[in-house]
């Protein structure tokens, strides 16, 4: 399986739903997703992107802060392309449970792909930071 890298793009102002964003915030969020997508596709050797948003609890949103997932993709990284959405849900659950000490509530479905620690995710964010000038964001 392709190494699942999931970058979240969030609005600066905390709002629960996409429709709560101003037109300017929508523009900023998706321009940021575009810039971030270019970088992570290149740095993680992808050839495409999945950009996903679950807007509201009935759509699968588990964090009440509007956000977009940007994921670099390759041919064959998932046998069925739509399975990525199941893995996005599992990743969100893993992150929630991982924050609790000694959690055993979540099991990875693929032994090759282990949940990343908060420290690993922070290190990855610091690595990606070099590709963005403060003035661009």
Ordered by start, the domain boundaries in the chain are 7-131
Distance, in Å, from the CA atom of 88 to the CA atom of 110, rounded to the nearest integer, reads 14
Known catalytic residues? Answer: 67
Indicate the CATH number for domain 7-131. Answer: 3.30.428.10
Distance, in Å, from the CA atom of 20 to the CA atom of 117, rounded to the nearest integer, reads 31
Q: Which distant-in-sequence residues (6+ apart) come within 8 Å of 126 by Cβ?
A: none
For the stretch 75-90, pLDDT in tens is 888 888 888 877 777 6
Two tokens at 81?
């392309």
Distance, in Å, from the CA atom of 125 to the CA atom of 137, rounded to the nearest integer, reads 15
For the stretch 29-86, pLDDT in tens is 999 999 999 999 999 899 999 999 989 988 888 888 999 999 898 888 888 888 887 7
């Amino acid at each position: 399986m392709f190494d699942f890298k999931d970058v979240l793009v969030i609005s600066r102002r905390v709002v629960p739903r996409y429709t709560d964003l101003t037109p300017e915030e929508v523009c900023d969020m998706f321009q940021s997703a575009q810039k971030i997508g270019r970088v992570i596709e290149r740095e993680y050797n992808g050839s495409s992107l999945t950009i996903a948003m679950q807007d509201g609890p009935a759509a699968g949103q588990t964090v009440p802060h509007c956000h977009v997932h940007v994921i670099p993709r390759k041919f064959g990284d998932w046998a069925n392309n739509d399975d990525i959405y199941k893995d996005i849900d599992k990743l969100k659950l893993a992150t929630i449970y991982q924050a609790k000490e000694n959690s055993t509530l979540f099991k990875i479905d693929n032994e090759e792909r282990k949940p990343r620690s908060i420290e690993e995710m922070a290190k990855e964010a610091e690595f990606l930071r070099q590709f963005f000038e403060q003035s661009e964001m």
